[in-house]
């Protein structure tokens, strides 16, 4: 028996190049992820200095509606990453072009539909907000402008995925950071300098979205030799793989959104203080996702490349390398939260009652990265494998058979039940996909 078979950890020493490749892809995406919430803080600060709280309230509701649509449409990025990475592994630039155009069409189509039905979006936002006339006016003004950037914004999701699959994450980082800087500068100039207010912030975002689209589109075209689309790529028998993959990941995203929405709305039933505390605690999850998502991006690209190349053992080694860095980062996160949880809470709110109430739930935050990193990692693996049906089934199972039953069984514990159910849900996602991965590996059915 070889040393490799006796010692499952020897890959940590023998695969230094794979560790380097994963970090080369992951680190730029982590840095890129960090810029997005910073941009949101700039926009919030600008609107927060306008004369009236209704400006901030209306913009927050409008942004939430648009962001939720974009989040559910994350299937565009996920499918683009897996298919693009597999095309890279096959060393097939034609396949890379085909994937690009096949996913560009639904992205633009959904964006155009958002423009056509902007009135419906405004009504939905106003309905859920149960807002005053002034807040509704702000919602209408913001969405009425921001929605015109939807085709570019949704195409950018796909473009990011395609470029990550091709392992051009440094370019993605550069484009995203420059686009966000442009957004911030334009927001200041239009909203404050020209006095456009909320409309200026929305217009700045639209301009930045199209600037990011133009830059990313140029990079993609340069990498594919400026190849144009072919009619046969959109014939149903060829297009079906992409459509089925997008459908499955879309359903997966909807199921995930149901659990998060339930946590929010059920917390609201427990009182204003509880829903406020949960909003604070969810920021720890957002912070965790900034890093773990970056590792997952790297795993998506490398696993997809290995599948495209038909390299089964390389694929498995890359999953183990990803597991090492994901677990290491989770441990760092947990230690950081244990040491600085009170400091982070203090930065998020200066309300003493909320700080006090939050302390009862901090143990959930301490263990969350250790339980959650598995699902981030395995999502990356299955995106790279483009096994959307497995991701869909796992998410539906964990939502219907783990999250809701666990909450129901512990509901007498109040808000603790919600967090127990959420952490159990995160762990179950990782375990279920991990079990399926090992099964496919042992059956030699990964490729």
CA distance 330 to 327: 5
Share of the chain above pLDDT 90, in %: 65
Is the model's pLDDT at 2 over the cut of 50? Answer: no
53 pLDDT tier (thresholds 50, 70, 90)? low
Shared domain for 345 and 418, answered yes or no, is yes
Judged against a pLDDT cut of 70, whether residue 97 lies above it is answered with yes
Final residue before a domain boundary, out of 188, 208, 234: 234
Q: What are phi and psi of 385, to 5 degrees?
A: -80, -10
pLDDT, tens digit, for every residue of 381-428? 999 999 999 999 999 999 999 999 999 999 999 999 999 999 999 999
Q: Look over the chain and give the mean of its residue pLDDT values, rounded to a whole number.
A: 89
User: Which residues, 6 or more positions from 174, have their beta carbon under 8 angstroms from its beta carbon?
Assistant: none
Does residue 128 sit in the same domain as residue 263?
no
Measured CA angle at 319 (ends 315, 325), to 5 deg: 145
Mark whether 219 and 362 lie in a shared domain: no
Q: Is the pLDDT reported for residue 131 higher than 90?
A: no
Q: What is the pLDDT of residue 132?
A: 66
Give yes or no: residues 178 and 276 share one domain. Answer: no
Which pLDDT score, from 0 to 100, does residue 156 have? Answer: 96
Domain span holding position 302: 247-447
Residue 65 pLDDT grade (very low, low, confident, very high; cuts 50, 70, 90): confident
- Provide mean pLDDT across the span 354-361: 88
Q: Are 83 and 242 in contact (CB under 8 A)?
A: yes
Is residue 20, in this structure, part of any structural domain at all? Answer: no
Model confidence at 368: pLDDT above 90: yes
216 and 267 in a single domain? The answer is no
Whole-model pTM: value is 0.91
Within-domain flag for 24? no
Least confident of 43-57, 149-163, 326-340, 342-356: 43-57
Match 């999502």 to its residue by tokens. 379
Q: Quick check: is 425 in a domain?
A: yes
- The upper half-sphere exposure of residue 296, i.e. CA atoms within 13 Å in the direction of its Cβ, equals 23
């Amino acid at each position: 028996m070889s040393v490799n078979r006796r010692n499952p950890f020897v890959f940590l020493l023998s695969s230094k190049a794979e560790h380097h490749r994963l970090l080369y892809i992951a680190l730029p995406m982590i840095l890129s992820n960090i810029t997005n919430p910073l941009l949101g803080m700039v926009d919030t600060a600008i609107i927060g200095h306008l004369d009236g709280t209704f400006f901030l309230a209306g913009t927050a509701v409008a942004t939430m509606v648009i962001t939720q649509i974009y989040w559910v449409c994350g299937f565009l990025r996920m499918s683009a990453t897996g298919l693009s990475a597999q095309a890279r592994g096959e060393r097939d630039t034609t396949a890379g072009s085909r994937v690009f155009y096949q996913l560009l069409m639904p992205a633009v189509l959904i964006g155009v539909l958002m423009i056509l039905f902007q009135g419906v979006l405004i009504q939905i936002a106003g309905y859920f907000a149960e807002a005053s006339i002034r807040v509704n006016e702000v919602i209408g003004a913001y969405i009425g402008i921001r929605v015109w950037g939807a085709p570019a914004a949704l195409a950018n999701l796909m473009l990011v995925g395609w470029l990550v699959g091709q392992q051009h994450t440094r370019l993605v980082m550069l484009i995203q950071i420059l686009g966000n800087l442009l957004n911030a500068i334009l927001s200041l100039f239009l909203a404050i300098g020209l006095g456009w207010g909320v409309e200026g912030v929305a217009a700045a975002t639209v301009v930045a979205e199209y600037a990011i689209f133009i830059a990313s589109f140029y990079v993609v075209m340069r990498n594919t030799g400026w190849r144009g689309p072919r009619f046969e790529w959109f014939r149903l028998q060829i297009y079906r793989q992409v459509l089925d993959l997008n459908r499955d990941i879309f359903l997966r995203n909807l199921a995930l959104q149901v659990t998060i929405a339930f946590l929010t709305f059920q917390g609201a039933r427990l009182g204003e203080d509880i829903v406020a505390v949960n909003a604070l605690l969810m920021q720890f999850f957002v912070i965790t996702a900034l890093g773990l998502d970056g590792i997952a991006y790297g795993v998506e690209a490398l696993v997809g490349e290995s599948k495209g190349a038909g390299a089964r053992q390389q694929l498995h080694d890359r999953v183990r390398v990803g597991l090492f860095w994901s677990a290491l980062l989770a441990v760092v996160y947990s230690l950081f939260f244990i040491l600085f949880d009170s400091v982070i809470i203090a930065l998020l709110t200066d309300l003493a009652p909320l700080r006090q109430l939050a302390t009862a739930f901090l143990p959930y935050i301490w263990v969350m990265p250790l339980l959650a990193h598995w699902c981030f990692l395995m999502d990356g693996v299955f995106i790279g494998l483009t096994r959307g049906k497995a991701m869909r089934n796992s998410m539906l199972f964990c939502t219907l058979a783990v999250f809701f039953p666990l909450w129901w069984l512990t509901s007498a514990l109040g808000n603790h039940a919600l967090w127990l159910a959420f952490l159990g849900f995160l762990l179950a996602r990782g375990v279920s996909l991990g079990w399926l991965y090992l099964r496919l590996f042992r059956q030699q059915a990964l490729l």
